[in-house]
Chains A and B, each alone.
Chain A
Amino acid sequence: DGGITQSPKYLFRKEGQNVTLSCEQNLNHDAMYWYRQDPGQGLRLIYYSQIVNDFQKGDIAEGYSVSREKKESFPLTVTSAQKNPTAFYLCASSMIRDTEAFFGQGTRLTVV
């Protein structure tokens, strides 16, 4: 089945640690995105990538980093510089940038 897979579903991190969230898609989409969602809030764009080896900052990129070495994969690293990392993280992809976007099931990150 085609789709977007995020892992893990739940992640716990100690303060001061970096952690990487996985996002894989087999839809052959060129564009991929990372969003952050806080309780009762909408979606805020962290990073996006239109093609392999290229990515751009979104609205809240500070404290995050990404890579796009393969078309299928767009991992997000939450660094220790991110002051308030506890949130629900959503990965999405689309055929070309900013057309119909399809989402993964999300990763809930909690800092303990």
Chain B
Amino acid sequence: GQQLNQSPQSMFIQEGEDVSMNCTSSSIFNTWLWYKQEPGEGPVLLIALYKAGELTSNGRLTAQFGITRKDSFLNISASIPSDVGIYFCAGSYLSGGYNKLIFGAGTRLAVHP
């Protein structure tokens, strides 16, 4: 089946640093979604991307839908302690006439004050 390769697996950064993470695949996706999960909670949708090349911001977060439709990245600028959590990418592709959504394994972010 289709797979998403999300990297890095984990990051340890200092408060104020910028963060970048990405998801890649050998398959073409119609939609890219980025979620954040805090400990003991469900994932929360941060950004949704629908078109190749689309660049979307949500506060200090910026995500892009790769031009080849096979990748996406998420940047966090000027990180703060509350950015701690697991960030998941998810991609939607057509299979058998239906959309199918798959998730990356997540990037675990730790921010040191």
| Chain A contacts to B: CB under 8 angstroms | 4, 6, 40-43, 90, 92, 94, 96-106, 108
Contacts and interface: CB of A to CB of B under 8 A. Distances in A.
A97 B98 contact: yes
A94 B99 CA distance: 12
A98 B40 contact: no
Interface of B: 31, 33, 35, 40-45, 48, 88, 90, 92, 98-101, 103-106, 108
B31 A105 contact: no
Q: Give the 10 A-B CB pairs with smallest separation, nearest first.
A: A103-B42, A98-B99, A98-B101, A42-B105, A43-B103, A106-B42, A105-B42, A103-B43, A98-B92, A98-B100
Q: Which secondary structure characterizes the binding site on chain B?
A: strand
Nearest to B4: A42
A6 B44 CA distance: 15
A104 B108 CA distance: 20
Contacts of A4: 42
Given A41-B105, A43-B103, A101-B90, A90 B43 contact: yes
Nearest to B48: A100
Q: Which secondary structure characterizes the binding site on chain A?
A: loop
B88 A99 contact: no
Nearest to A96: B99
B41 A99 contact: no
Given A42-B105, A96-B99, A103 B48 contact: no
Contacts of B48: 100
Contacts of B43: 43, 90, 103
Contact of A43 (B33, B88, B99, B100): B88
A4 B42 CA distance: 10
A90 to B, nearest CB: 5
A94 B104 CA distance: 18
27 contacts: A4-B42, A42-B88, A42-B103, A43-B88, A43-B103, A90-B42, A92-B42, A97-B98, A98-B92, A98-B98, A98-B99, A98-B100, A99-B31, A99-B92, A99-B99, A99-B101, A100-B45, A101-B33, A101-B45, A101-B90, A103-B42, A103-B43, A103-B44, A104-B42, A106-B40, A106-B42, A108-B40
